[in-house]
Amino acid sequence: MTTSALPHRRPCPRHAGIAGAFGGVVLVSVAVAVAGVGVAAAETAAEILTRECTSYEPNPDLFSSPPRVSDCHGANLIDADLTGANLTWANLTGAILAGAVLSGADVAGATLTDSTLTGATLINTTLTDTTLTDSDLSDSDLTGADLTDANLFGVRLVDADLTGANLSGANLTRANLNGANLTGTSAVPADIAVVAETVDGAPVTWSAPTMPTGLTFGTCAPASGTVFPVGATAVSCTVSSLWGGNVTTGSGTVIVTVAPVIDPPATGSSGSLDSIFGFGS
């Protein structure tokens, strides 16, 4: 039989179908493998605290018998995201919270003696009645934090941002606030707005604020009694620690506006009024 007489063999379509089927399986397997390599979901604050604390109580009750509170003493919580966590009355003595985020968390009544919170974010955190004795909060962000009646004896707040924090009743004896920002706190005068009678500005005075325990009010520039020009002028005030003499600052704004000049109503002659009402000749 010659070569030209050999029958022409076409590929079997079943083979192609099988190859396609295997290809589909391979593709599905790859898709599943890729999907499985995704980033794991971040742990919740409750999961982190459950793992790192001796015991974690998500619904603390100080007045139950026995009291239900979290015990996180010495816990390693570096860079932990504890946003909104409930740590009321918790024992966080010696805990390491450097770089941790506790924004919006409730830490009222908790004990954080000798804890480390350097670089921590505590924006709008509730710290009322909290004990922070000898803790380190250097470079931390305490913007809007509530530190009412907090015990900050010997605490380090070097370069911390306390803008708008509530320091009412706080004890800052022997605290180191060197370089801290106290703008908007009770330790510096509040913003003032006055109305000047002329465009030359107006003298503005203020009283020294009632200081938290352990701090003393310094001086402001420009000083109280200065004639401030029309517009907004920033005022920077110093605050010192009664122990160690370290100095920090806070600023406020004096806004001076000019009272509007109201022209008296125009008074026309009777002749002109007659003309208006049609009584003139």
Q: How confident is the model over 180-233, as pLDDT tens digits?
A: 999 999 999 999 999 999 999 999 999 999 999 999 999 999 999 999 999 999
Q: Return the amino acid letter for 224.
A: S
Query: pLDDT tier at 262 (50, 70, 90 boundaries)?
Result: confident
- What is residue 247's predicted lDDT score, i.e. its pLDDT? 83
Measure the CA–CA gap between 255 and 198, rounded to whole angstroms. Answer: 14
Computed over every residue of the chain, the mean pLDDT equals 84
Average pLDDT over residues 42-63: 94
Q: Domain limits of the chain?
A: 45-181, 192-258
Q: Is the pLDDT of residue 14 over 50?
A: no
Reported as a pLDDT band with limits 50, 70 and 90, residue 1 is very low
Closest CA to 226 of 254, 265, 257: 254
What pLDDT score was predicted for residue 266?
A: 63
How much is the pTM? Answer: 0.77
3-state secondary structure at position 76? strand
Asked if omega into 189 is within 30° of 0 (cis), the reply is no
Q: Which of 165, 102, 123, 50 is nearest to 115 (CA)?
A: 102
What is the percent of the chain where pLDDT is above 90? 72
- For residue 180, the tally of other CB atoms under 10 A from its CB is 30
Q: For domain 45-181, give the fold.
A: Pectate Lyase C-like (2.160.20)
